[in-house]
Structure 1
Amino acid sequence: MTKRRPHYLAGAGSLIWLGLVGLPLYVMLAATVRSRSEYARGGPLSFPDHLTFDNYSGAFDSGFGQYFLNTVIVTVSVVAIVLLLVPPLAFAIVRSRGRFTSGVFRLFLLGLAIPAQAVIVPMFYLISKAGLYDNLIGVILPTAAFCLPVSALILSGAMRDISPELHEAMAIDGAPPRQIFFRLVLPLSRGGLSTIVVFSALQAWNGFLFPLVLTQSDSAKLITLGLYDFRTAYGIDIPGLLAAVVLSMLPVLLVYLFARRALVQGLMGVGGK
């Protein structure tokens, strides 16, 4: 049995990577449990003398709770729209050979080449004319629309990995397309479904441009805009700001921890067979 030699270069690289990742995390977490005066006196790298959680409670006192709730509503609504529209569309793309379906799929793929910044002015005009300005619905609809192309591409790739023999076997047994879709395709596409859920949730949760342009009042403000409240005329409340950042990261982190395996499997199936 050959003895493995230690790989010092790989170990050194791992330590450097750990420092690059761990140092910013330490600075962020340590700042959230320190007072503003202690942070200014000791600097970002110093160890906290007295732990305090006033920054977290102060974030909610400044209206962060309302911003958090608004962001949850937008995120859940965007994910629901994507899950309602994309699976039937992806199933039709994979199973249909008609020109109309192919044309619709190509039209969706064109959305990948159009950045949100290029259409923000006509989007603002449409949302205003529809009476949805400064309303959460006015943020939900365009956010979901920009999630649809990538989601359709991911899920159609995952559905192509399902063996055609399974479709044919259920069809021979007399199963209609609707039954095939619900009893065969959806259960075998869990990886792709998890991927589009995480993707659309991240797009909605971290969205900045649409909330910035399409909302104005505090009642419709999202987390990404609410972080500006920690900036005053006398400076920035860095411990309070970082506490709000940590709170805004927790839901996304939990979603990733529970769906990371299905997320990787779904991304591996994007290209199809």
Structure 2
Amino acid sequence: MRRGPNYLAGVGVFVWLCLVGLPIYVMLGATVQSRAQYTAGGPLSLPGGFSLTNYVQDFGNGFGRYFLNTVIVTVSVVAIVLVLVPPLAFSIVRGRRRSTARVFRVFLLGLAIPAQAVIVPMFYVISKAGLYDNLIGVILPTAAFCLPVCALILTGSMRDITTDLFEAMAIDGAGTRRVFFQLVVPLSKSGLSTIVVFSSLQAWNGFLFPLVLTQSENTKVLTLGLYNFQTQYAINIPGLLAAVVLSTLPVLLVYLFARRALVQGLMGVGGK
């Protein structure tokens, strides 16, 4: 049986595309216009020309420094997560002691503690440690709040590895280190990709810790930089939107290259 075209579904898809595409068009179109053109034509007008002046001005007003600081924080947080979480998840999955499960439950209590609830004692600890207004003082708390979720995700991924593979490695005479690097890590790529994307997004979009734990211009990250741009460019909307576009490009690239592994990891597919 042949079905006729579903016009209602087509109309719904068109409306959805308009709702999604219109804000993107407004943002991208404004970034290639001057402030005078944008003010005269409005947000929905067609660009009268193509200019990268707004992007150049953003870098001239400190955007490059904010971008570099954010990259440093993000790479450091991801590195800490990749160093600590895989061995932790492996010990939880293959551990035979009851204390391991109890420690894991206590560790997961971090999921129930919001960052807003501990920001005051966190500020005190960072200040006493001499890390206030330092990128390290932002990196460590951000990584700490990423660890519980990343451990939970990677533990679920490693549990999908069948016991037969571990037994085969044991019969082959493989030790714990060899099992970890030659079996567990290769079969947990989707989980590893998921925690990399999650921790990088948390670090890239972090606002509370940089706001409270930094002060000078040399340690500000993109989220604070955009806040300053909003104050500085309260009238120059194209300059502000150009900074928004530049700040979202790395996140978009990470999602495009890791979206399949991210979905599989969140669904618990793991090594299958």
**TM-score, structure 2 as length reference:** 0.96
What's the CA shift string for 1:218-265, capped at 9, x where partnerless?
A: 000000000123234783321111101101111111111111111111
Partners of 1:5 and 1:15 lie apart in 2 by: 18
Deviation at 1:97, TM superposition (A): 2.6
Query: Does the aligned pair in 1 maintain the 2:190–2:271 contact within 8 Å?
Result: no
Q: 1:230 to 1:157 in 2, by over 3 A?
A: same
Query: Does the aligned pair in 1 maintain the 2:233–2:240 contact within 8 Å?
Result: no
Structure 2 unaligned blocks of 5 or more = none
State percent identity of aligned pairs: 76
Query: Does the aligned pair in 2 maintain the 1:230–1:237 contact within 8 Å?
Result: no
Query: Does the aligned pair in 2 maintain the 1:230–1:236 contact within 8 Å?
Result: no
Q: What aligned pairs does 1:109-188 form with structure 2 within 5 A after superposition?
A: 109-188=108-187
Letter in 2 for 1:82: V
Number of equivalences: 272
Letter in 2 for 1:143: T
Number of the residue aligned with 2:210 = 211
- Please report the RMSD computed on the Cα atoms of aligned residues, expressed in angstroms: 1.6
Letter in 2 for 1:155: L
Q: 1:82 to 1:52 in 2, by over 3 A?
A: same
Number of the residue aligned with 1:91 = 90
Deviation at 1:105, TM superposition (A): 0.8
Letter in 2 for 1:185: V
Structure 1 unaligned blocks of 5 or more = none
Q: What aligned pairs does 1:1-273 form with structure 2 within 5 A after superposition?
A: 2-232=1-231, 235-269=234-268
Partners of 1:272 and 1:257 lie apart in 2 by: 21
Letter in 2 for 1:128: S
Partners of 1:212 and 1:198 lie apart in 2 by: 23
Q: 1:234 to 1:270 in 2, by over 3 A?
A: closer
Query: Does the aligned pair in 2 maintain the 1:227–1:244 contact within 8 Å?
Result: yes
